Amino acid sequence: MTNWMKLLAASTALITANLGAEAMARPRAAPAAPAPQPARQPNILVIVADDLGFSDLGAFGGEIRTPNLDAIAHEGLRLTGFHTAPTCSPTRSMMLSGTDNHLAGHGSMAELLAPNQRGQPGYEGHLPNDVATLADRLRGLGYATLMSGKWHLGTTADQQPARRGFDRSFDLAQGGGNHFGKDIASSPAARGTTYWQDGQQLASLPAGFYSSDAYADHLIEFLKAGDTGRPFFGYLTFTAPHWPLQVPDEDLDRYKGRYAAGFEALRQQRLARLKSLGLVPPDTSAHDPLFKPGLSWRELTGEEQARQVRAMEIYAAMVERMDRSVGRVIAHLKATGQYDNTIILFTSDNGAEGTDLARSENPEFKARVSAADNRLENFGKATSYIGYGPGWAQAATAPSFLYKGLTTEGGTRVAAFIRWPGSARTGISNVYGNVMDVLPTLVEAAGGEWRGASHDGRAVRAVRGASWKPYLDGRAERVHAPEEAIGSELFGRRALRQGDWKLVDLGQGWQLFNIATDPGETRDLAGQEPGRVKALVAAWDQYSKETGVVMPSTAPRFP
């Protein structure tokens, strides 16, 4: 019997004894109906991984040990049709604004602006003032707003999460850095990374700092210090498994020998597992991976294979360490009785990272790699600076085409799931979704209104995403109408999605794919469907006009 039931029983017995049987027998007026109570607002936890591959998690077909994330995924709905921008800061701007990255200050990454994009509206490199963030909106609905992890939406004091709706925050301002904090800088203008807490830049980090551990620690600290009478919005944004691939010493050998067969063998294993789990149709044709000459597994030397294997071992250990950090946050929510009333959304910010740092012509990458100790025996330690390259990335994105930085499915279709208490839907959903949908979905879950062009008495950018709530409640069969056209562009690479059709241009002209029948983008139907191509190109042009796309004057050094 619960405490409140015991108290009720005791109170009833006391009343009976005092009134006596005669008094209890007298007729009494019917009690007034209790006043209706407002629905309890759910807690909200958004978890973002950085450059995670589509099939890295166990729940998405991977061999990496991720029991904590897997458990949440299996409780909820795995979203195999969820899409982001091709890289990190554009995705984060869309997630927190509910609108297109070109309207949210990130028409390109701030680090990779073309000369003709500098100074243009929508290319500020930080969230503009006419954007109401998800944190702004939820704080206005009574939420405690808490953020820990990667920000990448502005590096100066006035651009930090503490100024964009978060009550408490611990954040890395830049897009990535040494996971042990060894490159902390004295100012945002200096080369290196800057960490901030509640809007104040930190001069140093504690001994034993490691990114995934620290981000979870700070969110738990904020939760413990908060008012448990208020619902919370937690925004937990890891930098794992973004390069440089680094992990604490105790995890370095967790996957030793696991990847000796190479990335092409792993790709076959992952794809077979995806099919067996029902995450992709069994008759799916995967796009053939693209390798530069000398980069397929059989063409690598023994030394090159050893370095590739070690890089993937460390990558896997980083993913497992991130999962353990998530597990500590979940354990806290369960211990405090908050878990059952918490919506949890997990997503990667883009497809797997295919940049080969060792071979990159990007001057910044070359400088960092040359300054590091990249002897094989030092891989994964704080003084190393390595990535894992296009082979492992395409193992993780299969059956999709290519990886991060590109508007193909491999760059934008990500592992995502949502745990929504009371939802009518669990299991697996291939319904198309977009990262812009996060804000309207969660604001609606909190009982708020996200439509319109004003918030808190000021004019703001209208939300372009759609709420998933009617779909999750079982009242709708899709999130976006089949005739709705959703465009995207980054680094001059373009795409447009309308229903099952996708138009793609990577710089060599438009291609057309039916994603429902060909998720691997293996069959270009542009020649067979000239009328459809013409209509979709016109829709992309309209999207470009509405969002202020400025096509870059120079090709980026990415990937």
pLDDT tens figures, 358-386:
888 888 888 889 999 999 999 999 999 99
* Predicted local distance difference test score (pLDDT) of residue 187: 67
Q: Is the pLDDT of residue 529 over 60?
A: yes
Residues 133-181: tens digit of each pLDDT: 999 999 999 999 999 999 999 999 999 999 999 999 999 999 999 999 9
pLDDT score, position 517: 95
Helices 438-445/88-97 angle, 10° precision: 30
Rounded to an integer, the average pLDDT of 116-138 is 97
Residues 467-491 pLDDT 10s: 999 999 999 999 999 999 999 999 9
pLDDT of 40 > 90? The answer is no
Which residue ranges form the domains of the chain, and what is each CATH number? 43-482 (3.40.720.10)
> Helices 67-75 & 302-335, crossing angle to 10 degrees?
60
Confidence of residue 37 (pLDDT cuts 50, 70, 90): very low
Contact 74, 93 (CB under 8 A): no
Q: Is 213 helix (H, G, I), strand (E, B) or coil?
A: helix
Closest CA to 46 of 404, 455, 326: 326
Q: Do residues 171 and 148 lie in contact, with contact meaning Cβ atoms separated by under 8 Å?
A: yes
Least confident of 58-62, 190-194, 196-200, 219-223: 190-194
Active-site positions read 88, 152
Of the chain, the percentage scoring pLDDT greater than 70 comes to 91
Question: Does position 20 have pLDDT exceeding 60, yes or no?
Answer: no
Identify the residue with better confidence: 86 or 38: 86
Q: What pLDDT shows up at residue 520?
A: 96
- pLDDT at position 437: 98
Whether the pLDDT of residue 10 is over 80: the answer is no
**Cα distance between residue 381 and residue 379, in whole Å:** 6
Of 506 and 188, the structure prediction assigns the larger pLDDT to: 506
Per residue in 177-188, pLDDT (tens digit) is 999 999 998 766
Residue 188 has a pLDDT of 66
Asked if pLDDT for residue 31 goes beyond 90, the answer is no
Whole-angstrom CA distances from 391 to 191, 281, 404, 436, 491 are: 30, 23, 13, 30, 22
Cβ atoms 100, 464 nearer than 8 A? yes
Contact 461, 99 (CB under 8 A): yes
Give me the mean pLDDT over the 240-268 stretch.
Answer: 97
Mean pLDDT of the chain: 91
Check the CA dihedral 366-369-375-376 and report its sign.
negative
Average pLDDT over residues 464-469: 98
Which ranges of 141-229 does DSSP label H, i.e. alpha helix?
211-225
**Beta-sheet strand order (sheet of 144-150):** 200-201, 195-197, 168-172, 144-150, 232-237, 43-49, 342-348, 416-419, 77-79, 427-429
Structural contact between residues 218 and 351, judged by C-beta atoms closer than 8 angstroms: no
* Model pTM score: 0.92
Q: Which residues pair with 487 in a beta bridge?
A: 496
Task: Give me the pLDDT at residue 9, please.
Answer: 37
Strand pairing category for 454-455 and 458-459:
antiparallel
Q: What's the pLDDT at 134?
A: 98
Task: Tell me how far apart the alpha carbons of residues 469 and 437 are, in angstroms, rounded to a whole number.
Answer: 10
What are the start-end ranges of the E strands in 290-443?
Answer: 342-348, 416-419, 427-429, 433-434
